[in-house]
Amino acid sequence: MIINFIQWSKKSLFSNWWNSLITLFCIYLLFLIIPPFINWAILDATFSGKLKTDCTAGGACWVFIRVWFEKLMYGFYPVENIWRINLSFIIFIGTIGLSFFVREKYKLYILFFLIFIFPFIAFILIRGGFGLTIVETREWGGLALTFILAIFGIILSFPLGVLLAMGRRSEMPIIKYFCICFIETWRGIPLITVLFAAAVMFPLLLPSGTLVDKLLRVAIGIAIFESAYVAEVVRGGLQSLPRGQYDAAKSIGMGYWQMNFFIVLPQAIKTVIPGITNTFIALLKDTPLIYLIGMAEILGIVNMAKANPYWLGMAVEGYVFAAIIFGVVSFILSSYSQKLEKKFSTENK
């Protein structure tokens, strides 16, 4: 065992003087970073208490996360109604989990449910109505708001993205060039300008007196922005489909829409799932930008807490907390999409 280790380290760590130097440098780097971080985050940290003054050990003050946990997660959403947000997320994750266990045939129904039915259920659950007390959207916030916007954004952008991808491959020139311009324009501008436009410019374009909720405007903006990216991913899927599939569909007398709905899209959508997952990860990392147009998203709550006289300067703990959550979620999603990509690439060979 030990001999094995020595042999291995000779081969992969100390094979020549240059490699040994690099190894020593790496060890030094790790030594510089890891012990202080562990000291700060665990050994010197304070975990119990109720106030900032309880944190006297000099390390991280996790008390802050404990006290502010509900705010960081749900913003100013009424505490007694938090179960409604949780229920929507459970439905979402449960439906996706279910899709791993059902037969191929039913997966399309699940996709249909997620795109066309789930948004309404979740919206009614979270916002209220139909007997549930109404929670105004300005009370939504925290990490939940980020996830709500990202999930709604990707779901709403999906149908539009598919249509745009089909339009870009269309033989009708006006439709084709419109789709190209639309996609390239949205891909060429930063999300933040879209958010500014949704927050400030869009109300000017509607008849005076019409009030569209700010969150809704932002969600629409994000969905349109994202649809351009989804369209490019779907186009890749459409292009990867062998020509024979199109020819076969046409030769049994199918029209354009029949061919696309029954033959092309079901196969294409399957191959673009990894790409869509990557788009979703990118969107999830971009959504915290809504903080810049004044929404109480998790970074907004941290920055607010930092200015609170009782919790002055609690930025690091808040950022580390947010970083861990974002890191874990996008790491899980990206390893899933990589696994899927590998599976598809071997399936097709």
- Residues forming contacts to other proteins in the complex (CB under 8 A) are 12-13, 15, 19, 22-23, 26-27, 29-30, 171-175, 178, 184-185, 188-193, 196-197, 200-201, 203-208, 281, 284-289, 291-292, 299, 303, 306, 315-316, 319, 322-323, 326-327, 330-331, 334
Minimum Å gap between C-beta 159 and other proteins is 17
Q: 343 near 102, Cβ under 8 Å? A: no
Q: Which amino acid is at 292?
A: L
Complex with other proteins: residue 4 or 208, whichever CB lies closer: 208
Minimum Å gap between C-beta 270 and other proteins is 24
CA-nearest of 259, 257, 275, 248 to 336 is: 275
Minimum Å gap between C-beta 288 and other proteins is 5
Complex with other proteins: residue 125 or 322, whichever CB lies closer: 322
CA-nearest of 277, 248, 276, 243 to 262 is: 248
Minimum Å gap between C-beta 83 and other proteins is 27
Complex with other proteins: residue 127 or 285, whichever CB lies closer: 285
Minimum Å gap between C-beta 249 and other proteins is 18
Provide the β-strand partners of residue 129: 132
Complex with other proteins: residue 48 or 210, whichever CB lies closer: 210
- What is d(CA 246, CA 252) in angstroms, rounded to the nearest whole number? 10
Q: What is the dihedral of CA 232, 233, 236, 241, to 10 degrees?
A: -130
> Which helix (H) or strand (E) segment is 302 a member of?
helix 298-307
Complex with other proteins: residue 62 or 118, whichever CB lies closer: 62
Minimum Å gap between C-beta 129 and other proteins is 28
Q: Which amino acid is at 186?
A: W
Provide the β-strand partners of residue 46: 61
Complex with other proteins: residue 207 or 309, whichever CB lies closer: 207
CA-nearest of 277, 280, 315 to 298 is: 315
